Amino acid sequence: MNFRSQQISVHQFTVLVIIYVIGDAILILPSMIAYEAKKDAWLAAIFSLVIGMFFVWLIFLVSRLYPDLTIIESNKKVMGKFLGSLVSIMYLSYSFIYAAVALREVGDFLTTEMLPDTPIEAIHILFVIIVIMATRLGNFCTLC
């Protein structure tokens, strides 16, 4: 399979980012920040926003410099082969870890709120099958 020919539209990417940000920014992060920072949670949130926007700006600049390269290829070109590969591995690792966390959150939510008698493993297997099918079949957003 040629991955370079597989692209999503800007609108599809925007929908993915919005879903991801809303899921994290509204449901998960405020409680984590408040637990750790206590009364200074608002400062931690602003600081995190500034740092995150810096990285978004940095990734945007690199993508403008090398529009035909993937993020992994861009990392290697900008940072060198060793450091670029290390950063790329960390980036991919984070994606896999976050996918596992998201799967666990879906399973916890469904077994707590909607399907209390269903084993969490069954929900996890069902959602993994759905994600694999969506990935293999592509064209996930027909309304976008």
Q: Which residue has the higher pLDDT, 31 or 4?
A: 31
Distance (Å, rounded) from C-alpha 75 to C-alpha 73? 5
What are the sequence ranges of the domains in the chain? Answer: 1-65, 70-139
pLDDT at 138 exceeding the cut of 80: no
> Per-residue pLDDT tens for 38-92?
888 888 888 888 898 898 888 888 888 888 888 889 889 999 999 999 999 998 9
Q: What integer is the mean pLDDT of 14-30?
A: 72
Q: What confidence tier does 7 reach under pLDDT thresholds 50, 70, 90?
A: low
Full DSSP string of 4-24: GG----HHHHHHHHHHHHHII
CB burial of 76-96 (b: ≥16 within 10 Å; e: otherwise) equals bebeeeeebeebbeeeeeeee
This prediction's pTM: 0.61
pLDDT at 1: 47
> Per-residue pLDDT tens for 83-121?
999 999 998 998 888 888 888 988 888 898 888 899 999
